[in-house]
Every structure is written in structure tokens, then in C-alpha cells.
Amino acid sequence: MRVTGDQPGTRVPRVVVVNAALAACVWLVWALVWGPRFLDALQANWPVALTMVFGSLIGGGTSEGGGAVSFPVMTKLLSVPADEARVFTFAIQSVGMTAASISILACRVPVERRVVVHGSAAGVVGVVVSAVYLAPLVPLPLVRVLFTMLLVALAVALLLQLFQRGYRRNPAVPEWTVRERALVVGAGFAGGVLSGVAGVGENCVMFLLLVLLFRVSEKVSTPTTVIMMTVVSIGAFTAHVFVIGDFTGAVVGYWVAAAPVVAVGAPLGAWICTRLTPFTIRMILFALIASELVSTLLFVPFTPLLTVLGLTTLTVLTVLCVAFIRSDRYAAGGRPPGEDDQARAPLRSGAG
């Protein structure tokens, strides 16, 4: 059997071998550790496992994260308490997005490694502080509204950027000085704080910075944020297990039932992303954000105060996003958005 990559003529594409090996490892470990208890957990929690079929594809292939699917479905449709759904989000992303990240790196998908290193470190600090101290104090409706407003502001900016005259994409952050490093660290920390209370957010915040301000292609930004959300999820999951101590009871059952599913779906989603054009990735994000907005409007009980906070947040974030796309500091040297930049985008080193 010859494995040389994904080029024409290759008998076994690298991605098939890598993803099959990842799935086989998880299934083998689950069989050895849980045995018949896995089948019992799957029978009892099959709606959660079914949810993660879609959640894992979204988590591995977009900048939203699997929690953007699992959290609202579990809390609104499956009547799972919000605190349990949040812990489950970190637990399941620690398996699925880890598999997706390994697949991304093993298959040499272009990523911005400098952003991964600096942003992830700050994100872990932010998510642990947020999960331990902030999450118990913030009401769930406020979290959902603020997260939705962030996504809507991102969608507005992405739409405006499509019509921006002379817009070009970069294969990596064009400059790497103290300024860019500070922006990445700040965005990483802010995304970690948001993730600690919402279950997701690190990838969305960093995607916003990379695509809108730094003009990095979506085909590079998306796998970069997937790896970052993996690191942040593992940090948060560790905090919930060893510091907060709430990875217990029903949450463990959800995790046991869904983990083998996401071990297949998340790497598959990451691979699908490499086959899509930047424009298609944006269209998928628009659809996901629209569904997030609709579900928030339908299921979150809006009060006058929550409405004011939501609209204020949307206004502030939209202004920030528009300011990013109007800045031309990083616009020079990129390629027109019609070009497919996957093959030529270099893997950036983590140095700097």
C-alpha cells in the first residue's frame, strides 16, 4: 500500500489513512476501557450522539466549534441543564477537535503556527479563569445573547468585506511584530474568557481577527482556529475535572456515548474544509450564524434589559469589525479572493 499524499495517482490518500487511524484508536480505547458500558451509554444517550454527528462536522470544519451545535440543542431540545451542557461541550471537543487537529497537522494543512502558539497560551489562561470564577456568576441567557451578537457582527463584516474594493487574502499574517503578537494574545485571552462561559468562542474571536484585520485566507484561518479551540477545550476540561469537579453523573454518560462519533466526524469536517473555496466557507458560516440567531430569538427569554444589552453589544462589535475591514495595514501583498490559496499557503513557523 502506497501512501504519498493527496495528489492524483496516490493509491491511498494520506487523509484517509490518518483519519481512519485516529478513529480506530479512539474506538479501540473505548472498547478496552468501557466495554459493554459503552453500548449501554449509547442506548441511553443516543440523541446526544446523534447531535454530535452534526456538531463534530461543524467543529472540525468551521470556526464556530462543535459546542455551537451541541449547547443550544442539548439545553433547548434535550432539556439538559446548562451547566452540564457546558461541561459536556469541553469534554467532547477535547476528543473530537483533538482528532481534527491531529489530522490537520498530519496532513500538512496550512495553519498560522505563530498565532496558534501565542493565542492558545493566552486562551488557556482566559478559559480557566472564566470557567472557575466567572461562569457560575453569568446568567445563561446573557451568555447566549452576547455570543450570538458576536457572530452576527462577524457575519455583517464578512458580508461587507466581500464587496470591499481591492480586497485580497494573505496566506499568513503579513507582519509579525510586538503589535501583532499583542493583538493575538489579547484576542486569545478574550476568546478564552468567552469560551469559559459559553463553551465556544475562542475560535470565533480569533477568526474575526485573522480574517477581518490580518486578511488571512479562510482556508488557513479555519484550521488555525480549530487547533486553538482544541487547546482551550483541553485546558477547560482539565479545570472542570480537577479543579471544579463537575465532570460527573450524566455528563460522563453523554461523553462516553458521543466520543467515538466525534472521532470520525471532526477530522472529516476538517478535511471537507480543505476542499472548499474561501467563498463557500463564508456561505456556510452565514448559514450557521443565521441558524444561531434564529434559535436565540426563539428560545431565549428576552427582557428589556437583555434586549438593550444585546443591541448595544451588536452595535459595538459591528463598529469594531467594520473598523477592522476598513484598515488597509495588512491589505498589501495578498491575492484576489477568487484564487485558491490552499496549495501555496506556507505553514508558518511558531518562532517569532
Assess whether pLDDT exceeds 70 at residue 289.
yes
Rg (CA), the chain: 19
Grid coordinates given for 110: 496550512
- pLDDT attached to residue 342: 41
Three-state SS string over the chain comes to: CCCCCCCCCCCCCHHHHHHHHHHHHHHHHHHHHCCHHHHHHHHHCHHHHHHHHHHHHHHHHCCCCCHHHHHHHHHHHCCCCHHHHHHHHHHHHHHHHHHHHHHHHHCCCCCEHHHHHHHHHHHHHHHHHHHHHHHHHCCHHHHHHHHHHHHHHHHHHHHHHHCCCCCCEECCCCCCCHHHHHHHHHHHHHHHHHHHHHCCCHHHHHHHHHHHHCCECHHHHHHHHHHHHHHHHHHHHHHHHHHHCCCCCHHHHHHHHHHHHHHHHHHHHHHHHHCCCHHHHHHHHHHHHHHHHHHHHHHCCCCHHHHHHHHHHHHHHHHHHHHHHHCCCCCCCCECCCCCCCCCCCCECCCC
Q: What would the mean pLDDT of 182-206 be, rounded to a whole number? A: 91
pLDDT tens, position by position, 218-260? 889 989 999 999 999 999 999 999 999 999 989 999 999 999 9
Q: What would the mean pLDDT of 265-273 be, rounded to a whole number? A: 84
Instruction: Kindly report the pTM of this predicted structure.
Output: 0.85
| Pairwise CA distance, residues 256 & 96, whole Å | 12
Residue 189: how many CA atoms within 13 Å on its side-chain side? 8
Which sequence spans correspond to the domains of the chain? 14-326
Torsion angle of the four alpha carbons 20, 22, 25, 29, in this order, in degrees rounded to the nearest 10: -130
Assess whether pLDDT exceeds 60 at residue 2.
no
Q: What would the mean pLDDT of 126-137 be, rounded to a whole number? A: 92
- pLDDT attached to residue 11: 57
Q: What would the mean pLDDT of 263-276 be, rounded to a whole number? A: 84
Work out the pLDDT band at 349, boundaries 50, 70, 90.
Answer: very low
pLDDT tens, position by position, 70-127? 777 887 788 888 888 889 989 998 998 898 899 899 888 899 999 999 999 999 999 9
Residue type at 78 in one-letter notation = L
- pLDDT attached to residue 334: 53
In the chain, the N- to C-terminal Cα span, in Å, equals: 40
Assess whether pLDDT exceeds 80 at residue 335.
no
Q: 156 versus 62: which is more confidently predicted? A: 156
Q: 67 versus 124: which is more confidently predicted? A: 124
Of 95, 76, 60, 49, nearest to 261 by C-alpha is 49
- pLDDT attached to residue 5: 52
Q: 6 versus 132: which is more confidently predicted? A: 132
CA distances from residue 57 to 225, 252, 268 in whole angstroms, order as listed: 15, 22, 7
pLDDT tens, position by position, 176-187? 999 999 999 999
- pLDDT attached to residue 348: 41
Considering the chain, what is the average pLDDT of its residues?
A: 84
108: left (phi over 0), alpha (psi -120 to 50) or beta: left
Work out the pLDDT band at 144, boundaries 50, 70, 90.
Answer: confident
- pLDDT attached to residue 166: 67
- pLDDT attached to residue 321: 87
Assess whether pLDDT exceeds 80 at residue 13.
no
Q: Are 49 and 258 in contact (CB under 8 A)?
A: yes
| Pairwise CA distance, residues 197 & 324, whole Å | 26
Q: Are 287 and 149 in contact (CB under 8 A)?
A: no
35: left (phi over 0), alpha (psi -120 to 50) or beta: left
Work out the pLDDT band at 299, boundaries 50, 70, 90.
Answer: confident
The cell 477592522 sits on which residue? Answer: 324
- pLDDT attached to residue 56: 85
Assess whether pLDDT exceeds 50 at residue 174.
yes
| Pairwise CA distance, residues 121 & 42, whole Å | 35
Q: Are 251 and 88 in contact (CB under 8 A)?
A: yes
Assess whether pLDDT exceeds 90 at residue 172.
yes
Distant-in-sequence, close-in-space partners of 178: CB < 8 Å, separation ≥ 6: none
Assess whether pLDDT exceeds 50 at residue 1.
no
> CA angle at residue 147 from 146 to 151, to 5 degrees?
115
Assess whether pLDDT exceeds 60 at residue 68.
yes
Q: 119 versus 69: which is more confidently predicted? A: 119
Assess whether pLDDT exceeds 60 at residue 4.
no
